[in-house]
Amino acid sequence: MTVPLISLNGLTKRYGSFTAVDDVSFGVDEGSICGLLGPNGAGKTTTFKCLLGFAKPSAGMIAIAGAPVRPATFASLAYVPERASLYDSLTIAEHLTIYRRAYENYDDARARELLALFDLSPSLHAGKLSKGMRTAVALTLAFSIRPRVLILDEPASGLDPVHQRHVLDLMIDAAANGAAVLFSSHQVGQVERAADSVAIMKKGKLIVNSVIDDLKTGEKLVEAVFAGPVPDLDGLARDPSILRIEQAGSTLRIVTREDSDAIAARVFALHPKSIRTIDLNLEEIFMNAVSGDGR
Amino acid sequence: MPAIFTVDPRSGVPLYLQLIEQIKRAVALGMLAPAEQLPTVKALALELTVNPNTVARVYRELERDGVIVTSPGRGSFVRTDGAGIEARRAVADVARAAFEAAVREAKSLGLSRAETQELMARTIARWYETENA
């Protein structure tokens, strides 16, 4: 069994009476990309801060490459915060110099290649850059140290679509070379494309953690239209494989977790005028998860 | 390998199933020839901008289904024996599923059996007309 490069076990972080992160456990394996989704205030950034040792957990365990976070961890860990912190009075080239001196694994050729990819000139002063360009510099620095662990908070925010795609390709390349990547995003489509697993947080709790393709295989929407009002569902509502039921007039919509055929058969027995089963994409699964009662 | 694969990550159909179907289709239609080498997991992941573990899963399942063979250090290749048979079976499965979806849709739209049969007969006549002529 492989030890996940990133692991959280029962992570809890309280600020006074407010619980920002509530008993969260998951891991990211070597070669894996995990997308962290959640509405604002779900606890994503606090989770990152705990992972990096910037905030002390109230309870629970965190390990990077099987060990607690310590200064040496940062030799092979790269973190890009949502708002990139750069030295405004220094040029991009001077930032690269700092990295060359600070990181043993720093790869200057790689850094120059990434600057070109993001259309950035090394002579620009950091203070003159737009938010997206600052993010691109921070990403360049992060990937130039060939990290084994990458933690990226909204890594594509402020970037144009072409550069956003480059960010996904950088994560894919790093994972293909064995790195573990954990990134948060508000763009479900990015997670759906680049990540193999997803973690969804809501109000500090982890409500979904799964391989994305398995999630898609499992969750379906069964939609039935009746000639009149929707008949009595006869205990269907208590079926554990049903995540959500909506009724509007003569339309019944049921989101199922597993075995949608069995649910469809039971609905069919109620003689609907029409019935169909629809594959749910990650955005719909996400919306169902965060808008539900939290199960 | 020619860039013949496209995936739609926003679809509700899992990415690995989309890719498996497309590769089997390419083998069945001869776009991928027996003994032809497939790209590495990393190369295909980067070409399509999809997760490398997803591509690795695709290759594992294609190997299990007898469509490709992977030898460590050399790469993945379309099998010279039987790959076409399995791929044609898979493509027939796709056709069957599409057919079934069409009939189910017709039924759910309230068409009668006779109307559905009539529609189907007309569709078949249009697409196979050159063979009848």
Write the Ramachandran bin of B82: left for phi over 0, alpha for psi from -120 to 50, otherwise beta: left
Closest CB to B49: pick one of A168, A177, A279: A168
Cβ neighbours around A232 below 10 Å, total? 8
Residue A128, in any domain of the structure: yes
Say whether both A207 and A247 belong to one domain.
no
The dihedral built from the CA positions of residue A236, A288, B45 and B8, taken in this order, carries a sign that is positive
- Contact state of B14 with A32 under an 8 Å Cβ cutoff: no
**What is the predicted pLDDT for the residue at A294?**
43
Say whether both A226 and A198 belong to one domain.
no
Residue numbers of the domain that contains A123: 6-213
**How many contacts does A have with B, using Cβ atoms within 8 A?**
77
Query: Which CATH number does the domain housing residue A236 bear?
Result: 3.30.70
Q: Please, are residues A75 and A102 in contact by the beta-carbon 8 Å criterion? A: no
Say whether both A84 and A106 belong to one domain.
yes
Residue B96 has pLDDT above 90, yes or no: no
What residues contact residue A51 under an 8 Å CB cut-off, 6+ apart?
A6, A8, A62, A64, A69, A151, A182
In chain B, what residues touch A169 (CB-CB under 8 Å)?
Answer: 46, 49
In chain B, what residues touch A222 (CB-CB under 8 Å)?
Answer: none
Say whether both A61 and A171 belong to one domain.
yes
Which residue in chain A is spatially nearest to B19 when comparing CA positions? Answer: A213
Residue A184, in any domain of the structure: yes
Residue A185, in any domain of the structure: yes
**What is the predicted pLDDT for the residue at B107?**
81
Choose the final residue of a domain: A164, A189, A213: A213
Say whether both A60 and A122 belong to one domain.
yes
Say whether both A236 and A109 belong to one domain.
no
User: Is residue A172 less than 8 Å (CB to CB) from chain B?
Assistant: yes
Query: Which CATH number does the domain housing residue A80 bear?
Result: 3.40.50.300
The Cα angle at residue A161 between residues A156 and A163, in degrees rounded to 5: 60
SS3 B70: strand
Residue A80, in any domain of the structure: yes
Nearest CA of chain B to the CA of A186: how many Å?
A: 15
- Contact state of B14 with A173 under an 8 Å Cβ cutoff: no
**What is the predicted pLDDT for the residue at A293?**
56
The arrangement of secondary structure in B15-84, i.e. its CATH architecture, is Orthogonal Bundle (1.10)
Residue A1, in any domain of the structure: no
How do the domains of chain B map onto residue ranges?
Answer: 15-84, 88-132
Say whether both A28 and A133 belong to one domain.
yes
Mean pLDDT of chain B: 87
Which residue in chain A is spatially nearest to B45 when comparing CA positions? Answer: A172
- Contact state of B52 with A273 under an 8 Å Cβ cutoff: no
Nearest CA of chain B to the CA of A52: how many Å?
A: 25
Model confidence, pTM: 0.89
**What is the predicted pLDDT for the residue at A295?**
43
In chain A, what residues touch B15 (CB-CB under 8 Å)?
Answer: 212-213
**What is the predicted pLDDT for the residue at A1?**
54
Mutating which of B51, B105, B116 best tests the A interface, going by the most A Cβ atoms within 10 A? B51
Residue A288, in any domain of the structure: no
Say whether both A86 and A200 belong to one domain.
yes
pLDDT in tens, chain A (295 residues): 567 999 999 999 999 999 999 999 999 999 999 999 999 999 999 999 999 999 999 999 999 999 999 989 999 999 999 888 899 999 999 999 999 999 999 999 999 999 999 999 999 999 999 999 999 999 999 999 999 999 999 998 889 999 999 999 999 999 999 999 999 999 999 999 999 999 999 999 999 999 999 999 889 999 999 988 888 887 787 888 888 888 888 999 999 987 788 888 888 888 888 888 889 999 999 998 898 654 4
- Contact state of B11 with A32 under an 8 Å Cβ cutoff: no
Say whether both A128 and A270 belong to one domain.
no
pLDDT digits (tens, 9 = 90+) for B1-47: 555 788 999 999 999 999 999 998 888 888 898 999 999 999 999 99
Closest CB to B9: pick one of A176, A192, A274: A192
The ipTM (two decimal places) reads 0.86
Mean pLDDT of chain A: 92
User: Is residue A193 less than 8 Å (CB to CB) from chain B?
Assistant: yes
> What's the total number of domains in chain A?
2
Say whether both A120 and A153 belong to one domain.
yes
Closest CB to B54: pick one of A213, A217, A278: A213
In chain A, what residues touch B16 (CB-CB under 8 Å)?
Answer: 213
DSSP states of chain A: -PPPSEEEEEEEEEETTEEEEEEEEEEE-TT-EEEEE--TTSSHHHHHHHHTTSS--SEEEEEETTB---GGGGGSEEEE-SS----TTSBHHHHHHHHHHH-TT--HHHHHHHHHHTT--TTSBGGG--HHHHHHHHHHHHHHT--SEEEEESTTTT--HHHHHHHHHHHHHHHHTT-EEEEE-S-HHHHHHH-SEEEEEETTEEEEEEEHHHHHHH-EEEEEE-SSSPPP-TTGGG-TTEEEEEEETTEEEEEESS-HHHHHHHHHTT--SEEEEEE--HHHHHHHHHHS---
**What is the predicted pLDDT for the residue at A54?**
92
Amino acid at A186: H
pLDDT digits (tens, 9 = 90+) for A208-267: 999 999 999 889 999 999 988 888 887 787 888 888 888 888 999 999 987 788 888 888
